[in-house]
Amino acid sequence: MKGMTLIVKCISQLMAPSIFLLGVYVVLHGHLTPGGGFAGGVLIAGSFVLLILAFGSDEVRSQILNWNATAFESVGLFVFWFLAFWGLIRGTYYFTNVITKVNPGLPYHLFSAGIIPLCNLAIGIEVAAALFSIFICLAILKVGDRI
Amino acid sequence: MIVFVMAIVLFLIGLYGVLVKRNVFKILIALSIIEYSVNLLFALIGYRRGGTVPILTEGTKAGTFFVDPIPQALVLTAIVIGLGTTALLAAVAVRLYEKYDTYDVRKIRKLRG
Amino acid sequence: MNWLPLFVAVPLGIAFLTPVLAKLWKGFPDIVGNLATGFLCLLSLWYLRFGQTTSVYYVGGWEPLNGMPLGICMVLDGLTVLMLLVVNVIGFLSTLYSISYMEHYTDKGKYYTLFLLMTTGLNGIVISGDLFNIFVFFEITAISSYALVAFGVEAEELEASFKYQVLGGLASSFILLGIALFYHLTGTLNLADASKVLTGKSASPVLYFIGVLFFIGFGLKGAFMPFHAWLPDAHPSAPAPISAMLSGVMIKVLGVYAMCRVFFNVIGMTPVILTTLMVLGTVSMVLGVFLAVGQWDLKRLLAYHSISQMGYIVLGIGLGTPLGILGGLFHLMNHTVFKSLLFLNAGSLEFATGTRNLKRMGGLKDKMPITHFTTLIASFSIAGLPPFNGFWSKLLIVMACIQAGHPVYAVWAILGSLLTLASFMKVMRYAFGGEGKTVWEHVREVPSWMCLAMIVLVVLSTTMGLLLIPSLKAAVLDPAVRVLSDGLSYAANVLGG
Amino acid sequence: MLTILILLLVLMILGAIVALESKDLLSGVISLGICGFALTIVFLLVQAPDLAIVQIIVETLTLVILIAAILKTTHEDTTEAFGLRKLLVWGLGLVSIAVFLAVSIHVFSHLPKFGYPVLRIAQVYLDQGLPLTGAANIVAAIILDFRGYDTLGEATVLFTSVAGTVAVLRHIGRKRP
């Protein structure tokens, strides 16, 4: 895939970091404002997709093939799985919000709601990696590439 | 009630597409339309006249009432599931094109009836 | 009881780790995959002792508040225990078989990931007590099976997978539409709570409409007769262990189990639905076997037989009497065993000879003695010859038909059974009998892991008739029958206990 | 508000029809985009900002992926042909769709009206959600705490779909002896 014109490149260079930051913000504040792990994760993936669409995939092809998005996905999901399993280890129910029982935190503040922000973070990583891998699989890879 | 019926109309348009269209990508589009219609219907079901967004803030007054939050949570799940099915279907469609060199379902027919 | 979530959590965790482990060492997927399914198999055997009563597990510790179930709950009752046993035993034997069989395919790590996700989905459906949760696990199962059907990425397999995905996607949409209307009607998603809400109301047109939507959705997933178009393509195209899972387990969990749960336990069975089930069952039973007789592709023949045998199960359950339900559920277990065995045998033949076409085979009796023996037993079993397991369950269904005053259905059931026998005599004759062809000089028996899985299934299909001994029947089958025949007491059992 | 909602729904229906009937797959996919973005605004109107955010980004990414897939292959739809069989299909299709529509209109007249849902469990969530979970966003409280198990399933669906996509896109599936 070829890159686009200079104007597009400049604009997306400016836009991509802010979209990325917005994604991180949406992930971290999922329990207080609209949004959450999914919305934020898709935003983060979107910032990468924007850069690749603007600059073309030819330059980054080799890095994309080495950089393993699926591994990130596994890790993110495994963290989420572990947060769910934590309750069972602690002797309560599966998926128990074990942190609120000990330290409820102040409502309406960032550090509240126990494992919810942590889950959001894990989901954010997983969704970003998953969507990015779908994008590179369907849009960039050629016959015979391995991921 | 008219909005519910319009969501069903959208569902039926998608159903028509799946049953009648003979192009792999058109069928994919039709399945997406069905998915939108079900999400739409679900979101409409949760709406409450005069209700507000179910997010509390420190200044929330006692009298305010909210829309139903459960359908929103379910539709969120349904949207992501829809994305997953669409992605897999698109991957299979691309591979089918590679093998058969066409999107025409009538020509993609190596298996017997 | 407190370890019920392990049925979902263990395969899920291993599935997430497998892609990473597969990069470290190629042997890891085999080892962890088999350990996971073996553990689940043992766990499901251990859980047999909890099937007598209904117990509820509140995920997240959200116990009901003023009688309102807050979170998602898992429900363990007789039917659940039975289905868990079916899913996990066949799952374990399929992974054992895969160790050698999947050597013919590339990328075993992906295969085990998808297989474990499918097992997760099936277990999740079975233990869930929440409608939307069931839908989510439906989708996990469905998406992993779409990918597994296309795992060989040949043109035919992609075509079959596409057909399957379109009809499966349609089925999911119908089910989700049904769930939306169901939520609008009752205001809850918990099955037991919804049942409680519905008991107060008279049967409205809304409930019929929801019933029709669920019927179409589950019918498409379970390949009942008017909705069966995808099955004869999808099941033969998958790798053999996956065919065994799809035909042996998946259509039963997604079709029969889900339908029983929703119609018997929540909405409540009406004579109209029961008659529909019986008619559909009989039509599937007879037409499926007629279509099967003419097939020359071995796996395709078996796939048509799946439709036919599903007809027996649906007919038995559709009778609605305790004896009929007993026959249906027992046939469900038996069919799982012998149909998985038959698909594994077909896989062995394909593994050794490279073809599935019966006309090209022949004279393999001496070359592959173990496969010949296992196929013979499985054929007797599916055709309903005593003393193999298929005989007992078909006998129960025929007896139940006569007892309930429907002798016509009994005649059709016996006719179907005879045709099945004829079609499997053809298989034995063309695949194993006859002169040894020179092409098959180099053919040898399949590797030992594959033989082991097949022999275990042979032992099961020979001995499962013993489940009808009263003490074993009271432990395994009776609780499951009670769940369905006392249908609407589900709500009281779940909410009260 | 109801008028705007109905106008948006009409837009969605038109977008869907154009998406299905256009001769070019690229314009079909873009019309599907109209449908999806209109859905975003509907979500905002029915007070569901969480859904609107997810829908707009997912829609954009889906469009990018589908357009990339089309550009890699072909964008002409050459499957239209009129014949007797097609007339039959049309006739049967229209009849069954009319029946389905009539039945659903009848059914909706028996269900609660638009804007007046049955709040059973939802009322408990709205009243007790903050004290029980500590999350101010009740939707987040539901998807990650009350129904967190569903969300694990949903994340798994995405994982499954990526694993499946990667598996399906392998160049060689079977090893040749």
Task: Please tell me if residue B101 touches chain A, with a CB cutoff of 8 Å.
Answer: no
Q: For C432, phi and psi rounded to 5 degrees?
A: -110, -35
Peptide bond preceding C387 in cis form (omega within 30 of 0) = yes
Tens of pLDDT, residue by residue over C224-277, are 878 888 888 899 889 999 999 999 899 999 989 999 999 988 888 888 888 989
Tens of pLDDT, residue by residue over C173-210, are 999 999 999 998 888 888 888 888 888 776 678 888 89
Report the chain C residue with the minimal C-alpha distance to residue D171. Answer: C153
Amino acid residing at C449: W
Q: With CB atoms and an 8 Å threshold, state whether C59 touches A93.
A: yes
Domain count, chain D: 1
D-chain CB neighbours of C186 within 8 Å are 118, 120
Domain count, chain B: 1
Q: What local confidence, expressed as pLDDT, does residue C167 receive?
A: 92
Q: From the candidates B28, B57, B75, B83, which should be mutated to test the interface with A, based on the most A CB atoms within 10 A?
A: B83
Q: With CB atoms and an 8 Å threshold, state whether D136 touches B55.
A: yes
Of C134-148, C458-472, D157-171, give the range with the top mean pLDDT.
C134-148
ipTM score of complex: 0.93
Contact at 8 Å (CB) between C164 and C150?
Answer: no
Contact at 8 Å (CB) between C76 and C89?
Answer: no
pLDDT band at C133 (very low <50, low <70, confident <90, very high): very high
When CB atoms are compared, the residue of D118, D156, D166 closest to C187 is D118
Structural domain harbouring B81? 2-49+66-100
Q: For C55, phi and psi rounded to 5 degrees?
A: -130, 150
Residue D82 pLDDT > 70, yes or no? Answer: no
Is the Cα torsion angle A105, A109, A111, A116 positive or negative in sign?
Answer: positive
Task: Please tell me if residue B91 touches chain A, with a CB cutoff of 8 Å.
Answer: yes
Please give the sequence-ordered ranges of beta strands (E in DSSP) within C245-379, or none if there are none: none
The better pLDDT of the pair C381, C491 is held by C381
Task: Please tell me if residue B57 touches chain D, with a CB cutoff of 8 Å.
Answer: yes
Residue A51 pLDDT > 90, yes or no? Answer: no
Name B66's bridge partners: B52
When CB atoms are compared, the residue of B7, B47, B97 closest to D115 is B47
Tens of pLDDT, residue by residue over C6-20, are 899 999 999 988 888
For chain C, the domains span 6-496
Q: What local confidence, expressed as pLDDT, does residue C136 receive?
A: 94
Q: With CB atoms and an 8 Å threshold, state whether B6 touches D47.
A: no
From B98's Cα to the closest Cα of chain C, the distance in A is 9
CA C338 – CA C454 distance, rounded (Å): 10
Kindly state whether residue D113 falls inside one of the protein's structural domains: no
Q: With CB atoms and an 8 Å threshold, state whether A93 touches C13.
A: no
CA B39 – CA B71 distance, rounded (Å): 9
From D136's Cα to the closest Cα of chain A, the distance in A is 5
Closest of C334, C348, C335 to residue C431, by C-alpha: C348
Tens of pLDDT, residue by residue over C296-318, are 889 999 999 999 999 999 999 99
Q: How many residues does chain C have?
A: 497
Closest of D13, D35, D3 to residue D101, by C-alpha: D13
Tens of pLDDT, residue by residue over A65-123, are 656 677 788 888 888 888 888 878 877 777 777 776 666 666 666 666 777 888 888 99
Kindly state whether residue B26 falls inside one of the protein's structural domains: yes
Kindly state whether residue B112 falls inside one of the protein's structural domains: no
Chain C positions contacting chain A at CB under 8 Å are 5, 9, 12-13, 16-17, 19-20, 23, 57-61
C-chain CB neighbours of D107 within 8 Å are 181, 205-206, 209
Tens of pLDDT, residue by residue over D135-156, are 778 888 888 888 888 889 999 9
CA C229 – CA C233 distance, rounded (Å): 8
CA B30 – CA D157 distance, rounded (Å): 21
Tens of pLDDT, residue by residue over B63-86, are 677 888 889 889 999 999 999 999
Task: Please tell me if residue B36 touches chain C, with a CB cutoff of 8 Å.
Answer: no
Checking phi first, is residue D74 left (phi over 0); if not, alpha (psi -120 to 50) or beta?
beta
Q: Rounded mean pLDDT of C54-79?
A: 84
**Contacting C residues, span 86-115, partner chain D, CB-CB under 8 Å:** 103-107, 110-111, 113-114
Torsion of CA A60, A50, B96, C118, to 10 degrees: 100
Tens of pLDDT, residue by residue over C281-298, are 999 999 999 988 888 889
From B15's Cα to the closest Cα of chain C, the distance in A is 8
Task: Please tell me if residue C59 touches chain D, with a CB cutoff of 8 Å.
Answer: yes
Q: What local confidence, expressed as pLDDT, does residue A65 receive?
A: 63
Contact at 8 Å (CB) between C328 and C285?
Answer: no
Q: Rounded mean pLDDT of D107-126?
A: 82
C74's enclosing H/E stretch is: strand C73-76
Name C68's bridge partners: C65
Q: Which residues contact C179 (CB under 8 A, 6 or more apart)?
A: B74, C131, C132, C135, C189
Structural domain harbouring D36? 1-80
Q: With CB atoms and an 8 Å threshold, state whether B22 touches D79.
A: yes
Q: Which chains touch B (3 or more CB pairs under 8 A)?
A: A, C, D
Q: What share of chain A is helix, strand, coil (3-state, %, to 5)?
A: 70, 0, 30
Q: Which chains touch C (3 or more CB pairs under 8 A)?
A: A, B, D
Tens of pLDDT, residue by residue over C28-53, are 889 999 999 999 999 999 988 887 88
D-chain CB neighbours of C158 within 8 Å are 168
Which range is least confidently modeled, B48-52, C123-127, C139-143, D149-153?
B48-52
C465's enclosing H/E stretch is: none
C-chain CB neighbours of D156 within 8 Å are 12, 117, 120, 140
From D84's Cα to the closest Cα of chain C, the distance in A is 23
Tens of pLDDT, residue by residue over D12-37, are 999 999 998 888 889 999 999 999 99
D-chain CB neighbours of A65 within 8 Å are none
CA A23 – CA A46 distance, rounded (Å): 9
Tens of pLDDT, residue by residue over D36-65, are 999 999 999 888 888 898 899 889 888 988
